[in-house]
């Protein structure tokens, strides 16, 4: 690809899908296909494989490559498939992005490599070096809670000037970050996060975010697709507010445990095959699962999607 993809290419509900494992802990591609089909049938706009919810850090590189190769076979023109390609260093990230590019990915999402905590200049050079090594559309994910470095908007805007970057997911607790980025009108799709406590979602959507990168869509895809519609007219506000208030208990519940523990537990409880998270993360206690199932029932999601509960 020689020219930049417009930032409007992606947006709406960008669901970070879980990686399903079978009873012996191997990737279950039959279950994976069920999950992808569920998303496709219910209005999801894009899929993000091997993010935090997809347990990238718990996968071997062979498994990561297998996920790219196998899931890319299920692509259709209407839903872009993005893959988490962050490595332990710059060169490894470039290699993973190249593999994804050569094996059918529509795009790659990148964070900083874990544990290093580079400064702002080093982080900027990392993202630009990866972009220089590929023609694949790329996305950035600012995740300071897990990765130590909170990317500053000034450096991010310089990264967004590179023609490979088309998406940015923001999770910083600094409320002004979204405003400074969106005020500059970079040619990227700015995505809010669905974690409710920091109000990143509401703040970003009011300022012009093009969608929401989320895990809640694993269970409520149509609702997140509606919530993630960009605001173009004032009447969107009332509809957004009503839906957000309705979905708030589920959003809060899914963030009550380290991702993807709560998401996988509820999926398993309603017949969506997710398997358990890999150790050291352990399955959610049954009493907490029952709380989550109660929320799904009260929202009418079990009946709406024809799900079957296995929890009392």
Q: What is the mean pLDDT of residues 31-38?
A: 97
What is the tens place of the pLDDT at every residue in 133-155?
A: 999 999 999 988 888 899 999 99
**Is the pLDDT reported for residue 124 higher than 50?**
yes
Asked whether residue 227 is domain-assigned, the answer is yes
pTM of model > 0.85: yes
Asked whether residue 256 is domain-assigned, the answer is no
pLDDT of residue 16: 97
More reliable by pLDDT, 213 or 236: 213
Asked whether residue 310 is domain-assigned, the answer is no
Q: What is the mean pLDDT of the chain?
A: 93
Interhelix angle 286-298/235-254, rounded to 10 degrees, is 160
**Is the pLDDT reported for residue 195 higher than 60?**
yes
What is the tens place of the pLDDT at every residue in 42-63?
A: 999 999 999 999 999 999 999 9
Q: Encode burial over 278-299: b for 16+ CB neighbours within 10 A, e otherwise.
A: eeebeebeeebbebbbebbeeb
**Is the pLDDT reported for residue 282 higher than 70?**
yes
Q: What is the mean pLDDT of residues 102-122?
A: 94
Residue 35: strand, helix, or coil: helix
CB 212 within 8 A of CB 228: yes
User: What's the residue count for the chain?
Assistant: 312
Rounded Cα gap, residues 46 and 78, in angstroms: 8
pLDDT of residue 172: 87
Asked whether residue 252 is domain-assigned, the answer is no
Asked whether residue 298 is domain-assigned, the answer is no
Asked whether residue 273 is domain-assigned, the answer is no
pLDDT of residue 2: 39
**Model confidence band, residue 293 (pLDDT cutoffs 50, 70, 90):** very high
**Is the pLDDT reported for residue 11 higher than 80?**
yes
HSE-up (13 A, CA, CB side) for residue 240: 19
What is the tens place of the pLDDT at every residue in 219-254?
A: 999 999 999 999 876 667 888 999 999 999 999 999
What is the tens place of the pLDDT at every residue in 88-101?
A: 999 999 999 999 99
Asked whether residue 230 is domain-assigned, the answer is yes
Domain boundaries, position 85: 7-244
Looking at the structure of the chain, the number of domains it has is: 1
pLDDT of residue 148: 86
Look up residue 39 and give its DSSP letter.
H
Asked whether residue 186 is domain-assigned, the answer is yes
pLDDT of residue 1: 38
CB 83 within 8 A of CB 100: yes
pLDDT of residue 253: 97
Percent of the chain beyond pLDDT 70? 96
CATH number at residue 43: 3.20.20.70
pLDDT of residue 73: 96
Sign of CA dihedral 18, 23, 27, 30: negative
């Amino acid at each position: 690809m020689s020219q930049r993809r417009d930032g409007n290419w992606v947006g709406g509900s960008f669901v970070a899908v879980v990686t399903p494992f079978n009873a012996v802990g191997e990737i279950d591609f039959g279950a994976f296909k069920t999950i992808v089909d569920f998303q496709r049938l219910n209005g999801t706009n894009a899929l993000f494989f091997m993010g935090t919810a997809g347990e990238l850090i718990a996968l071997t590189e062979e498994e990561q490559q297998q996920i790219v190769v196998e899931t890319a076979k299920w692509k259709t023109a209407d839903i872009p498939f993005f893959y988490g390609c962050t490595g332990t260093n710059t060169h490894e990230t470039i290699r993973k992005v190249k593999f994804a590019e050569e094996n059918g990915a529509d795009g790659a999402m990148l964070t900083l490599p874990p544990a290093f905590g580079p400064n702002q200049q080093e982080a900027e050079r990392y993202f630009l070096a990866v972009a220089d090594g590929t023609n694949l559309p790329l996305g950035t994910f600012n995740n300071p809670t897990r990765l130590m470095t909170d990317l500053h908007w000034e450096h991010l805007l310089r990264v967004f000037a590179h023609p490979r970057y088309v998406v940015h997911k923001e999770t910083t607790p600094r409320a002004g970050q979204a405003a400074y980025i969106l005020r500059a009108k970079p040619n990227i799709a700015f995505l809010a996060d669905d974690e409710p406590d920091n109000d990143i979602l509401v703040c970003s959507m009011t300022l012009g975010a093009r969608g929401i990168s989320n895990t809640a869509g694993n269970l409520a895809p149509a609702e997140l697709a509606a919530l993630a519609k960009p605001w173009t007219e004032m009447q969107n506000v009332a509809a957004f507010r009503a839906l957000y208030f309705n979905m708030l208990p589920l959003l809060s519940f899914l963030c009550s445990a380290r991702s993807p523990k709560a998401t996988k537990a509820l999926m398993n409880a309603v017949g969506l095959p997710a398997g358990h998270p890999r150790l050291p993360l352990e399955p959610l206690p049954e009493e907490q699962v029952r709380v989550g199932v109660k929320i799904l029932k009260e929202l009418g999601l079990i009946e709406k999607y024809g799900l079957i509960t296995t929890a009392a």
